[in-house]
């Protein structure tokens, strides 16, 4: 489980230090979300769980006539996002929990977006209800989340390399796959004041390695990001070395034209605020 305290602590520190790698890994998904924003008319955007700010930055750069606010619970990630966006007058970042965040501007957001930032709420229905209260009227919602872990070789292939399988996670607990089940997500959104809910399947290559030595870059990525990284940190030196060798072999098998990637599967979910 990755909850709020994790993002305020170790996970936030890691993702803030590794934002270039993590943004690269989601690059195809980010582009699809940007394409989908063209389906909406909006003047103000709220980016929920904005992380290091990649989606907020892209929206603010591409649409200078709108305003964008990114919110995240991680002080480390917000600091990085602010540094990256300091040159954009139409972009701000706030350290806040979106489930409790209150709009301070007199112009409420009419588009709420998130790239994999909504699966970590302790009480997701209450969080989406708060977001609906803060949103304008009308307002639209657009976010991405992972589908079932079994549909995501980016995760399963790495986990198979571990000496012992980790215990099964609670599918409803906050974490990367908490919104994998659309039959769970729909009532959460409805209870939160959202309707006209639709799901788009989006499969994409999740990039782990590139550059001069993509194999070693992939090994570095998996050594610091994700559940396998945590397991590796607890291994003794010999076991960790063997594990990293297996990662290099996996990366070699999945390296094409200088890029290491594995398949990933997401939902792109859209909805409108109940009038």
pLDDT digits (tens, 9 = 90+) for 1-42: 455 666 666 677 888 999 999 999 999 999 999 999 999 999
Residue 234 resides in a domain: no
Q: What is the DSSP letter of 150?
A: G
Residue 216 resides in a domain: no
Say whether pLDDT at 197 is over 90: yes
Q: What is the pLDDT of residues 211-231, one digit of tens each?
A: 999 999 999 999 998 778 888
Distance CA 1, CA 172 (A): 10
Predicted model pTM: 0.94
Alpha helix (H) residue ranges in the chain: 4-8, 10-17, 19-25, 27-37, 54-62, 75-84, 124-134, 153-159, 182-191, 214-224, 227-233, 237-253
* Residue 210 pLDDT class (50, 70, 90 cuts): very high
Distance CA 271, CA 24 (A): 27
Check if the beta carbon of residue 204 is closer than 8 Å to that of residue 28: yes
Tokens matching residue 234 = 């607890």
* CA dist 48 → 72, 129, 140, 157, 228 (Å): 7, 13, 13, 29, 26
| Range 112-121 average pLDDT | 96
Residue 42 resides in a domain: yes
Check if the beta carbon of residue 103 is closer than 8 Å to that of residue 79: no
* Residue 236 pLDDT class (50, 70, 90 cuts): very high
Residue 163 resides in a domain: no
Check if the beta carbon of residue 160 is closer than 8 Å to that of residue 236: no
Q: Which CATH number goes with the domain that contains 15?
A: 3.40.50.150
What pLDDT score does 187 carry?
Answer: 98
Residue 86 resides in a domain: yes
Residue 221 resides in a domain: no
* Residue 169 pLDDT class (50, 70, 90 cuts): confident
What pLDDT score does 8 carry?
Answer: 61
What pLDDT score does 171 carry?
Answer: 82
What pLDDT score does 24 carry?
Answer: 96
Residue 17 resides in a domain: yes
Residue numbers of the domain that contains 136: 4-149+170-207+264-273
Task: Please give the tally of structural domains in the chain.
Answer: 1
């Amino acid at each position: 489980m990755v909850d709020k305290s994790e993002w305020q602590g170790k996970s936030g520190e890691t993702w803030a230090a590794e934002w270039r790698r993590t943004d690269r890994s989601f690059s195809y998904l980010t582009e699809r979300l940007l394409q989908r924003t063209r389906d909406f008319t909006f003047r103000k955007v709220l980016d929920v769980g904005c992380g290091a700010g990649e989606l907020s930055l892209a929206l603010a750069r591409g649409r200078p006539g709108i305003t964008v606010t990114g919110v995240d619970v991680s002080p480390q990630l917000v600091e990085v996002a602010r540094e990256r966006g300091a040159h954009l007058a139409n972009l701000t970042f706030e350290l806040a929990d979106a489930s409790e965040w209150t709009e301070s501007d007199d112009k409420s957001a009419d588009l709420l977006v998130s790239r994999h930032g909504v699966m970590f709420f302790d009480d997701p229905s209450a969080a989406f209800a708060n977001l609906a209260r803060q949103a304008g009227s009308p307002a639209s919602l657009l976010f991405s989340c992972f589908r079932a872990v079994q549909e995501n070789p980016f995760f399963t292939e790495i986990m198979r390399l571990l000496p012992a399988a980790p215990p099964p996670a609670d599918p409803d607990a906050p974490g990367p796959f908490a919104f994998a089940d659309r039959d769970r997500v729909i009532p959460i959104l409805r209870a939160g004041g959202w309707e006209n809910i639709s799901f788009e399947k989006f499969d994409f290559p999740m990039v782990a390695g590139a550059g001069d030595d993509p194999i070693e870059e992939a090994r570095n990525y998996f050594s610091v990001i994700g559940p396998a990284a945590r397991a590796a940190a607890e291994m003794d030196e010999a076991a960790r070395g063997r594990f990293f060798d297996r990662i290099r072999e996996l990366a070699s098998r999945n390296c094409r034209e200088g890029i290491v990637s594995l398949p990933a599967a997401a939902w792109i979910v859209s909805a409108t605020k109940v009038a």
